[in-house]
Amino acid sequence: MDHLSCTFLLAGLVLALLWVFVVKKRKQYHLPPGPTALPLIGNLHQLDRRAPFKTLAKLSETYGPVMTVYIGPRRAVVLVGYDAVKEALVDQADDFSGRGTMPFMVRATRGYGLAISNGDRHRQLRRFTLTTLRDFGMGRKGMEQWIQEESRHLTARIADTEGAPFDPTFFLSCTVSNVICCLVFGQRFTYDDAHFLHMLTIINNTVTFFSSPMAQMYNIFPWLIERLPGQHQKAFANIEELREFISEKIKDHKETMDPDSPRDYIDCFLNRAKKDKELETSEFHDDNLVSTVLNLYLAGTETTSTTLRFTLSVLIKYPNIQEQMQQEIDDLIGQERCPNMEDRKSLPFTDAVIHEIQRFVDIVPMNIPHYAIQDISFRGYTIPKGTLIFPMLHTILREKGQWATPWSFNPQHFLDHNSNFKKNSAFLPFSAGKRACVGEALARMELFLFIVALLQRFSFSCSGGPDSIDLSPEFSNFINLPRKYHVIASPRLAQPSAF
């Protein structure tokens, strides 16, 4: 028997023993109910590998809104529906503030950074990041100005297509990424910058891989997949290239920064690191800086640009909705003045459509997993320390009791009987509680300003017509990714402004 076979056999025996231990341990706790799990693979055989959230939602019809499943050998508790998720993430926020350890993310970040940290590291990095984002948003050249400037570059580039079909993927990625680049690097890149486009290709490929079944297999059996060739090896090589790019930017900042006039997130972080250099408990060091910037760069680029790609598909699918938004925009601000965030309260239908797009496309259906840092008492059950926790956003955004037509695209979900915008507490695309997305305010601002700017200038269609558009995701696992279409942006004739 060769060395590799011996390794696999030994690993199998170890896992079998661990499974016996898990079964015995289960009897010591009053765990939530769930389907019977098999040794080693747990409930994997029951899950749709391309859309596990659909299977979990279906299983909850039998086992209730709080249930136990095994993702391979790892125990997980799944929270289904608004009431269960709110009770956990908001009412018991401290208990459920842990972040699940995803081996793929641990490998990518080397265990550092905001996204996967827990305890004091997470508290320090999250508080600092939220404060820094807020400060730049209210600054002399704040986020709104960056987004407005970038929207002008986007509309100019789309105008250059002269009504010919084009793939909007990289235009939108360039636009959204440049906002993040201004925030963290203090600079934007041209849409023709070869290195910038290469970085965006890496980000797009990484997120696509992360939503693949292979990536989920890596998260479940890292000790095995790590030793095999495949897409994951290329993904890790790509991430290392991103880390090198970020490290070079940090090096440049150290050489050129003025401590009294920070230009961006990196400068602010370096200032804080210098201030806290004598504190043994400080988390402000290069390892956390590289990985946190990686977190912001990846998440800030891909999730918002993905939502914008879905938006174009929705506008083409429902041309009457597109026209109604354009009429509202024309009546308020015309086709020439750059939109600003103050306009949102006067554009209730447009705001409702943007909210409904976020609800309907359901970008992160399973949420990013949480983690029981200690034993948790919840609804009469015990969730043992070390358990993964999935607060299922999909089951909130499509919950019958919360939405009149949960499976249909319907902007009326966010409009009252007088056509005024109305909030819904079940609108949680950014999650909730102490692990809610730190970039929520930025993403909301980007979506509103970019979408309004696009509709001022263009009407969107495709050669196949509305019926050719399929709004179901092309990839649907960790992240729902839209199908790709070549769109046509027809310039609109300028209309006189209402003011």
Average pLDDT estimate for 269-292:
95
Decide if pLDDT at 415 tops 80.
yes
Residue 10 has what pLDDT?
53
CB 67, CB 32: distance < 8 Å: yes
pLDDT of residue 301 exceeding 60: yes
Whether the per-residue pLDDT at 84 is higher than 80: the answer is: yes
Predicted pLDDT at 140: 44
Q: How far is residue 257's CA from residue 270's CA, in Å, rounded to a whole number?
A: 9
Q: Which residues lie below 8 Å from residue 474, measured CB to CB, with a gap of 6+?
A: 481, 482, 483, 484
Answering whether pTM is above 0.95, one says: no
Contact 102, 219 (CB under 8 A): yes
Domain 1-111+368-397 in this protein, CATH class: alpha beta
Helices and strands, number each (H, E), in the chain: 17, 11
pLDDT of res. 13: 57
Model confidence pLDDT, tens digit, residues 12-52 = 555 555 555 455 555 567 999 999 999 989 999 999 988 89
Average pLDDT score over residue span 174-184? 94
**Rounded to whole angstroms, how far apart are CA atoms 433 and 91?**
9
The b-or-e profile of 231-260 (16+ CB within 10 A means b, else e) is ebeebbebbeebbebbeebbeebeeebeee
Mean pLDDT, rounded, of the chain: 91
- The residue among 354, 359, 346, 333 whose CA lies nearest residue 419 is 346
Indicate if the alpha-carbon torsion angle 290, 295, 300, 303 is positive or negative: positive
User: Domain residues of the chain, as ranges?
Assistant: 1-111+368-397
Assign 499 a pLDDT band (cuts: 50, 70, 90): very low
6 has a pLDDT exceeding 60: no
pLDDT tens for 369-386 read: 999 999 999 999 999 999
Q: What is the DSSP letter of 495?
A: -
Residue 308 predicted with pLDDT over 60: yes
Mean of pLDDT values over 399-416: 97
d(CA 451, CA 328): 13
Spatial separation of the C-alpha atoms in residues 374 and 484, rounded to whole Å: 43
Q: How far apart are the first and last CA of the chain?
A: 82
Out of 26-30, 114-118, 394-398, 427-431, pick the least confident: 26-30
Long-range contacts of 246-253 (CB under 8 A, 24+ apart): 246/290, 246/293, 246/294, 246/297, 247/290, 249/185, 249/293, 250/286, 250/289, 250/290, 250/293, 253/186
**Minimal CA–CA distance to 387: which of 403, 401, 397, 373?**
373
- Please answer whether residues 409 and 318 qualify as being in contact, where contact means their C-beta atoms are separated by less than 8 angstroms: yes
Task: Encode 361-398: b = buried (16+ Cβ within 10 Å), e = exposed.
Answer: bbbbbbbbbbbbbeebebeebbbbeebbbbbbbbbbbb
Residue 143 clears pLDDT 50, i.e. is over it: yes
pLDDT at residue 231, rounded to an integer: 87
309-336 average pLDDT score: 97
Q: Which of 148-157, 218-227, 359-368, 456-465 has the lowest mean pLDDT?
A: 218-227
**Lowest mean pLDDT: which of 54-68, 99-113, 125-139, 412-426?**
125-139
